[in-house]
Amino acid sequence: DAGVIQSPRHEVTEMGQEVTLRCKPISGHNSLFWYRQTMMRGLELLIYFNNNVPIDDSGMPEDRFSAKMPNASFSTLKIQPSEPRDSAVYFCASSTSGRARNEQFFGPGTRLTVL
């Protein structure tokens, strides 16, 4: 299995521009998570989906951030307009949901720099 796939790996953009990050979860996994890693706050959960439905978006910082999961094999995280403080590494993770606490498998991340 290829694991969780994220694109792009690096993104440099200017303030005010729209940024779209993409994620392909592991086939068969029905839960998908978007995280942001910063030096100050570590790994923060932004939003997670179960069976393509958003379950908890309480970590989404503000209305500039939105996430979609149109099907079981694809999700996007969009920032519009982007700001310098959005610079961070964004990770996507997937897992199988259920009553057990299942480990989450992370992608390699997208390093976003907003100038």
Decide the pairing of beta strands 10-13 and 110-114: parallel
Closer residue to another protein (CB): 45 or 72: 45
Letters for 77-106 (x = contact with another protein by CB under 8 A, - = none) are --------------x-x-x-xxxxxxxxxx
Give, as one character, the DSSP assignment of residue 3. -
Show Cβ contacts of residue 88 under 8 Å, excluding neighbours closer than 6 positions: 36, 37, 38, 112
Closest separation in Å from C-beta 81 to another protein: 27
Q: How far is the CB of 77 from another protein (least distance, A)?
A: 15
Under the criterion CB under 8 A, does residue 43 sit at the interface with another protein? yes
Binding site for another protein (CB under 8 A): 4, 31, 33, 35, 39-45, 48, 50, 55-56, 91, 93, 95, 97-109
